[in-house]
Amino acid sequence: MTRIAIVTGAGQGIGEGIARQLVQDGLSVAVADMNEKNARNVADEIGNNSKGYYVDVSDKKSVFDLIDHVVADFGKLDVLVNNAGIAQIGTLLDTKEEDFDKIMNVNIKGVLFGIQAAAAQFKKQGTGGKIISASSIAGHQGFELLGPYSATKFAVRGLTQVAAQELAKDKITVNGYAPGIVLTKMWDQIDAEMAKIYNVPIGASLQKNIDSIALGRGETPADVANLVSFLADPKSDYITGQTIIVDGGIQF
């Protein structure tokens, strides 16, 4: 029977790459994003009965509604990928409270709501399931000007470890992926803001970071998707509570 995955933030970037890979692995994917148009376009393109959905992961009701709609459409859920996330650039001293709250709401609360909603569905089904969430190398090492973002990505690792302990008895595994410098619109945004702050040309900050990658190239969404493919597959059934770095060997 075809396995069903939800990937949040899958209208572009890493999430889109993950959705593509999971379809290649034989799954049908609920492509969920705040940008519903992008989500629908990606779903139409990747096929295998994949479908686009609106979700705002920072809104608990929206996340629970998403799971209900997906289960109504496909009959069940096997995998949730909590991929949606946002970045902010700036010093801690300049961070405004409303900006801090916003990134916490999307990057941490979004993951919490996803864990809660998916676990409730997996328990109802009695099937077990897999929850996989986006952390970052910035969740292993604090990066200048990425303070609140780093804090959220450390927190994702914490939630992942605790959820893995609490949900193991229900045969639910909970893991994370921690990418490095992935060439998506998120990095375009980070690079543009770094250029302003450091008064350097566009592309200079990105290149400096790429120069620190042992494998000598920027990361692609497909590089991340290959790891998520494994974490979504029964081959990884004995792995839980882990956040695995996939960064081409960045030397801090």
Does position 57 bind ligand NAI by CB under 6 A? yes
Block residue for tokens 């375009």: 188
127 among annotated binding-site residues: no
165 token code pair:
């302990």
Q: With the CA atoms of 185, 135, 143 and 192 taken in that order, what torsion angle do they form, in degrees rounded to the nearest 10? A: 10
In whole angstroms, the minimum distance from the beta carbon of 63 to ligand NAI comes to 9
Site string for ligand NAI, 76-105 (x = CB under 6 A): -------xxxx-------------------
Q: Which of residues 176-195 bind ligand NAI (CB under 6 A)?
A: 179, 181-182, 184-187
The span from the CA of 10 to the CA of 221, in Å, is 11
The span from the CA of 223 to the CA of 132, in Å, is 16
189 token code pair:
């945004």
105 among annotated binding-site residues: no
Does position 236 bind ligand NAI by CB under 6 A? no
| Whether the Cβ atoms of residue 144 and residue 92 lie closer than 8 Å to each other | no
Is residue 53 part of the annotated active site? The answer reads: no
Does position 218 bind ligand NAI by CB under 6 A? no
Contacts of 64 (CB under 8 A, 6+ apart): 113, 116, 117
Does position 129 bind ligand NAI by CB under 6 A? no
* Cβ count near 141 (within 10 Å): 12
79 among annotated binding-site residues: no
184 among annotated binding-site residues: yes
Closest to ligand NAI by CB, 129 vs 218, is: 218
Does position 168 bind ligand NAI by CB under 6 A? no
- Positions that interact with ligand NAI (CB under 6 A): 8-9, 11-15, 33-35, 38, 55-58, 83-86, 106, 134, 136, 179, 181-182, 184-187
Point out the residues that are catalytic.
Answer: 149
